[in-house]
A = this chain, B = another copy of it.
Amino acid sequence: MPLVQVSLLKGKPQKNISAIGDSVHQALVEEFKIPELDKFQVVREVEKNHLVYPPSYMDIPHTENIVYIQITAREGRTVDIKKRLYQKIATLIHERTGISTDDVFIVLTEVKAENWSFGRGLAQLADKT
């Protein structure tokens, strides 16, 4: 159910790009309890002057390795579960790519169960709430 969009600077190693997507997915499986097969993602490599970030914000420094992770998911997870999700995403990305956890930026957009169609024009989650 989640749709994950990853934006990062163009030219990074392709294995890092896959590892980022896989890390986000594993964290969603483990913390949001989504099914293993529920993996829908779009990656965007962005030109240098098209990716804007501050050198530091809230005492966290950022570099050109910064990764924007936009997750659209069904609403309803608790604050604690969300916190565990962010922690796991950042940790897994760091372990698998060397990217600092400082450079993992995440925003979660929550939408209603009936706002999804996974194909066939059906609203598969509409009657599951």
Give A residues with C-beta under 8 Å from B: 3, 7, 14, 17-18, 21, 35, 37-46, 49-58, 60, 62, 68, 70, 72, 79, 82-83, 86-91, 100-112, 114-124, 126
How many copies make up the complex? Answer: 3
> Can you list 27 A-B pairs, Cβ within 8 angstroms, ordered by A?
A3-B70, A14-B49, A18-B49, A37-B54, A38-B54, A39-B54, A40-B68, A43-B49, A62-B119, A79-B123, A79-B126, A82-B114, A83-B114, A83-B122, A86-B117, A86-B123, A90-B117, A90-B120, A101-B120, A102-B119, A104-B121, A105-B117, A105-B118, A105-B119, A107-B115, A107-B116, A110-B112
- For the complex of A and B, list the 6 residue pairs with the smallest distance between their C-beta atoms, beginning with the closest: A90-B121, A41-B52, A87-B121, A43-B50, A86-B117, A60-B119
